A and B are shown apart, each in its own frame.
Chain A
Amino acid sequence: MAIDEKDVLHVARLARLDIAPDRIEPMVRYFQDIIGHFRTLEKCDTDGIDPFEESGSHLCPLRDDEPKAWDSVLEALEEAPLREGRFFKVPAIGGGGDPDALS
């Protein structure tokens, strides 16, 4: 199936990215090219393969339930672009411009 402008803009909305009007056409072409490469995988014989097998990998280690406070919280808070006291601050949610609502 061919990927068109609508598909690329849908993906951009999911990714919270805005593609400038003059970049849409090159992006669609890039998508068509790269998906052409992706489709070569269909030639690979993958019958009976468990995609989630993790051979050679160890199992997930488990951590003991011992609480420990982090001593650099203030340094992290100072990095916030917008802050109020100890809160991170964000503009109102919704308030228009929700790309999900457009689709």
Chain B
Amino acid sequence: MMPLSFETVIGLEVHVQLATESKLFCSCPTAYIGSEPNTNVCPACLGLPGSLPSLNRRALELGVKAALALNCSINCMTKFHRKNYFYPDLPKAFQVSQYDVPLAVSGSMPIFLEGKVKNINITRLHLEEDAGKLIHETADGRLSGAAFSLVDYNRAGVPLAEIVSEPELSSPEEAREYVLMIRRLVRYLEVSDGDMESGSLRVDANISQKCSDGRWGSRVEIKNVNSLRAMERALEYETIRQRGLLLKGEEIVQETRHWDDNSGVTRSSRGKEEAHDYRYFPEPDLPQIAVERTLVENVRESLPEPPWKKREKFAREWRLSPADSASLSENLDVAVFLENVAASGADRQMAANWVKTDILRVLNETGLAVGDLQVGPEGLASLLAHVEKGSLSNTAAKDVLDIMLKKGIAVDDAMKEAGVKAGGVSRESLLGVVAKVLGENAAETALLFSGEDTSGKKRKFLQGLIMREIRGQAAPEDVSAMIDRVLDEMKG
């Protein structure tokens, strides 16, 4: 008998908090982190009797922006529904969301894994309002068995875009790459800060197993995954649990399970599920929304190249390594900076190396954004022009870049300050320095002279001393040529 094999089938629902100034259906500020509880609230987001919703245009635009970047079709007439359930963080006892006519449908997005590209289809993108926050309180400080909960509605009504994928992800790693790509995209688009830690990007996962004997296990929804790591662990756990059940010939129960990050298991929340009946119906307080062509076209014109296009361009056109293509396309500003360095005349590979090692290092160390740097792409390009011409060594150029970054001055001024000049050593004085260094290091010179320095180590050592003496103001090839000339003269 053939051993059974399995395929994992995963679909993700990603909730992205949209970067608007005001809430989805009222004018309250969206900044809920760090605010005193219940400060950014009003009759509408507190669900006071008699209050009504009014839709934020910007939220609609940001939803359209994400949808277009995901290659979705926009529904030119869209509408909101009420999702009814009782929970204290839901002030109206219904969430205004979208149901049968979402803002956008049928998109797709590539993910990259192990050198391969896989296209993931997007089912839909819809807008909805966030709920408030509950804080569980105990009289004696215990974590469980809280007697009371406290409710803060500052987050209630903050706009969310929910992006639903088709069940086309086949491993926890793919799920991770998918979420990372969504995060990269929403950051590129400035649609959201995409921060999972603070909850502005949240994921629910659906997972099932397809067995080689033809059985297909029921779908299980996993909630409460609050980090990428938690999502991967939960999906790994569920894969093993579901395959185990199928191997034993048991059924998978279709249900929602909650991930317990401390114990590393998912737990059934069955019982509650059976009676869930959200009684969706069209929100009568909001007429249909026309997503006008001009709005869509204006948004389309503002779209940057998405992260996967940048990455493919760096890999295919620029011929950068897969790792470099990935890291240099992670952030839109860095990618655009790099493109501009190249556009200002620098060699692509050299520009990529410098941005990757020097610029990213500074950004990491200082926490600055690329736009905050004292050096623009043209500045870096003009520095690299000296390196490319051979008139400035890498070492010297790095010193100059440091000064440029610190002082915000142009290349020429920075070079003056570093005391270097491009090609600043005459052949005559280079000859003098080489002769002097060879003379001072007679033992090494002798080995070079006799041809015994087969590894070239001694030559490198001497060349380094010379470079230091001339402060890198000559190209390495020129120094090397000068060493040969002096050696020839010695032979002569």
- CB-CB under 8 A from A59, the residues of chain B are 287-290
Q: Interface code A88-102, partner B: CB below 8 Å = 1, 0 otherwise?
A: 111111000011110
Give the shortest distance, in Å, between B19 (CB) and chain A (any CB): 10
Q: How far is the CA of A11 from the CA of B48 in the complex (A)?
A: 25
Interface stretch, picked from B118-126, B197-205, B273-281, is: B273-281
Bound-state CA distance A65–B148 (Å) is 36
Inter-chain contact total with CB atoms closer than 8 Å: 129
Residue-wise, chain B 13-34 has the 8 Å CB interface mask toward A (1 for contact) of 0000000111000011110000
How far does the Cβ of B255 sit from chain A's closest Cβ, in whole Å? 14
The complex places the Cα of A70 from the Cα of B41 at a distance, in Å, of: 7
Contact B286 A90 (CB under 8 A): no
Q: Determine, out of A20-28, A29-37, A79-87, the stretch whose residues face the partner at the interface.
A: A79-87
Given A63-B54, A100-B271; A87-B88 close (CB under 8 Å): no
Pairwise interchain contact A60-B286, C-beta atoms closer than 8 A:
yes
By CB atoms of chain B within 10 A, which of A54, A68, A88 has the most?
A88
The tally of residues in B whose CB lies under 8 Å from a CB in A reads: 53
Chain A residues with CB below 8 A from B30, complex form: 67
Contact with A along B336-356 (1 / 0, CB 8 A): 000000000000000000000
Residues of A within 8 A of B20 (CB): 65
| Interface 9-residue window, one of B4-12, B55-63, B373-381 | B55-63
A43 at the interface (CB under 8 A from B): no
* Residues of B33-73 contacting chain A, CB below 8 A: 36-43, 46, 48, 54-60
A61 nearest in chain B by CB position: B54
B117 within 8 A of A: no
Task: Say yes or no: A87-B56 contact (C-beta < 8 A), given A60-B288, A66-B27, A93-B88.
Answer: no
Residue of B nearest to A103 (CB): B275
Pick the most buried of B42, B145, B152, B274: most chain A CB atoms within 10 A of its CB.
B42
A41 part of interface (Cβ distance < 8 Å)? no
Complex Cα gap A21–B103 (Å): 46
CA distance A70 to B38 in the complex (A): 11
Contact B288 A76 (CB under 8 A): no
For A86, give its contact among B38, B86, B271 (CB under 8 Å). Answer: B38
A90 with B275: CB separation less than 8 A? no
Beyond A13-B275, A61-B54, is A88–B38 a contact (Cβ under 8 Å)? yes
Q: Contact partner of B41 among A52, A73, A101, CB < 8 A?
A: A73
**Does residue A69 face the partner (Cβ distance < 8 Å to B)?**
yes
**Do A89 and B275 touch across chains, with their CB atoms under 8 A apart?**
no
How far does the Cβ of B91 sit from chain A's closest Cβ, in whole Å? 9
Whether the Cβ atoms of B152 and A54 lie closer than 8 Å is no
Q: Are A76 and B22 in contact (CB under 8 A)?
A: no
Contacts of B362 in A (CB 8 A): none
Q: Indicate if the CB atoms of A69 and B275 lie closer than 8 Å.
A: no
Please give the distance in Å from A95's CB to the nearest CB on chain B. 9
Known: A67-B28, A69-B28, A103-B274. A90 touches B40 (CB 8 A): no
Give Cα A84–Cα B275 distance, bound, in whole angstroms.
Answer: 32
A58 at the interface (CB under 8 A from B): yes
Say whether A100 contacts B275, CB under 8 Å: yes
Q: Within 8 Å of chain B (Cβ to Cβ): is A62? A: yes
Question: Cβ of A65 and Cβ of B28 under 8 Å apart?
Answer: no
What is the distance, in angstroms, from B121's C-beta to the closest C-beta of chain A?
27
Q: A60-B289, A68-B29, A76-B41 are in contact. List 18 more A-B contacts (CB 8 A).
A: A52-B282, A54-B288, A59-B290, A60-B288, A65-B58, A65-B59, A66-B21, A69-B40, A70-B43, A73-B38, A87-B37, A88-B38, A88-B88, A88-B152, A90-B88, A91-B147, A99-B275, A101-B271
What are 16 of the A-B contact pairs (CB < 8 Å)? A16-B86, A52-B282, A54-B287, A60-B55, A61-B54, A67-B22, A68-B22, A70-B43, A73-B38, A76-B46, A84-B148, A88-B152, A89-B149, A90-B148, A91-B147, A92-B147
